[in-house]
Structure 1
């Protein structure tokens, strides 16, 4: 399980004295704890790896947005800090599909459900997320789906 890998990375970081990695791993664990608390009242709880991947993907998206803002604002030291956190977070995510593999998945789904225009984008995105949500960056996939349906 991904959660166990993250916990063992925390212990390894402590033993190695790697403060930056330890801080990032603790941040991940804190976000996971917050998500666990949110899910206590939920009626249908997804499996643990699904929850962990969702949290990690959200954190990756936040870091990428922050990096862009810091770079445009001339704050390269803060962008570097965010990039270091992003690198740690990405080590725990499952391997992402390449752009070609993503395009192939989109074309398969498009043919399967008979999508022909941009009006069908929501349907394609829903199936894509259901089948490949853990291994595709959905923000990039959105642009690829739009291009495929145009």
Structure 2
């Protein structure tokens, strides 16, 4: 069993004992998403820590997008609830990369692939190198935007 999944279960117990409803409901939601990922497909399987991190990153992204949608819909209380849930999920994700770190990783990938003069047609090559390095540690859209910026400049 994944160590991260065990940690989530232990944190759920702690949150329930502390009567922290936000934390316990968010962790329950994440554990449900993990279970759904385990039983999806043709046969059930146990997720590795890397797979659990991918599920957590997806759930975190859902919360960010929902918060933006609620802000656009002038529902600040619901947007704040989504942000609070995203903060709980972030406790279980690896430390996020800063913009400078992403810029450096992309620059190194552009250099490594020799994509500097090729423009946007080299985006797939560069993303193929950068994505494994940023998985779970940076938003894919943010990474793609930086790749685009560096390839077009």
Distance in 1 (alpha carbons) for counterparts of 2:21 and 2:144:
36
Distance in 1 (alpha carbons) for counterparts of 2:151 and 2:144:
11
Distance in 2 (alpha carbons) for counterparts of 1:130 and 1:136:
11
Equivalent residues, number: 148
Local SS of the residue matching 2:40: helix
Local SS of the residue matching 1:134: coil
Q: Note the residue ranges of structure 2 that are not aligned, 5 or more in a row.
A: none
Distance in 2 (alpha carbons) for counterparts of 1:55 and 1:129:
16
Aligned residue in 1 for 2:27: 25
Structure 1 length as normaliser, TM-score?
0.92
Distance in 2 (alpha carbons) for counterparts of 1:46 and 1:104:
35
Local SS of the residue matching 1:93: coil
Runs of 4+ in structure 1 displaced over 3 angstroms?
none
Aligned residue in 2 for 1:16: 18
RMSD: 1.7
Q: Note the residue ranges of structure 1 that are not aligned, 5 or more in a row.
A: none
How far the C-alpha of 1:95 sits from its partner, in A, is 0.4
Structure 2 length as normaliser, TM-score?
0.90
Aligned residue in 2 for 1:114: 114
The 1:99–1:146 alpha-carbon spacing in structure 2 relative to 1, beyond 3 Å, is same
Q: Does 1:95 align with 2:95?
A: yes
Distance in 2 (alpha carbons) for counterparts of 1:40 and 1:57:
23
How far the C-alpha of 1:112 sits from its partner, in A, is 0.7
Local SS of the residue matching 1:50: helix
